[in-house]
Amino acid sequence: MNLQVLESVALILSIGLNVAVIALVLFAIPAFKELRQWLRGSETLHSLVKELRPTLTNAAENVNYLSAAFRSDADEVGRTVRRATETANVIIDTARDRTAEISGFLEVVQEEAESSFLSTASLLRGARATRRVRGKHRDREIEKTRTHRRLG
């Protein structure tokens, strides 16, 4: 009887194992189909990437070229702005110097003009005074001469 029980347990275990293997195979078949489709998709993706690689490489090189050109242009604009700023500063400094020189020159001209005006006014006043004095002196001389002729 022990042997029969043992055979029965072995038979049940064998049947259970066979059922488990059959179930595993039944579940594995769809999984393998999915895996096969995924592999086909990845092969398609791989071939698509392989076809696009030269185009993507070319696009990346173009982006690098444009980036370098933009950087170069931006650097050139920066240098130009710096030079323009330096030139503008030089022009402003020169204009300030010239303005100061012109201001000093105009002060000297104004002082000279005032001095000349005062000198001329003084000279004219002196000439008028001299003329008046001479005129009075001449009038006296004329008067003396007339008086002398009349008396004489």
pTM of the full predicted structure?
0.42
Taking the C-alpha atoms of residue 114 and residue 71, their distance in angstroms, rounded to an integer, is: 63
Give the model's pLDDT for residue 87: 93
Band of pLDDT at residue 39, cut at 50, 70 and 90: confident
Least-confidence region, from 3-7, 61-65, 97-101: 3-7
Taking the C-alpha atoms of residue 142 and residue 139, their distance in angstroms, rounded to an integer, is: 5
- C-alpha R_g of the chain: 61
Can you read off the two tokens belonging to residue 42?
């990845």
List, for residues 116-144, the tens digit of each pLDDT value.
Answer: 888 888 888 888 887 777 766 666 776 76
Taking the C-alpha atoms of residue 79 and residue 86, their distance in angstroms, rounded to an integer, is: 11
Least-confidence region, from 54-63, 91-100, 133-142: 133-142
Alpha carbon of 96 to those of 82, 92, 125, 126: distances in Å? Answer: 21, 6, 43, 44
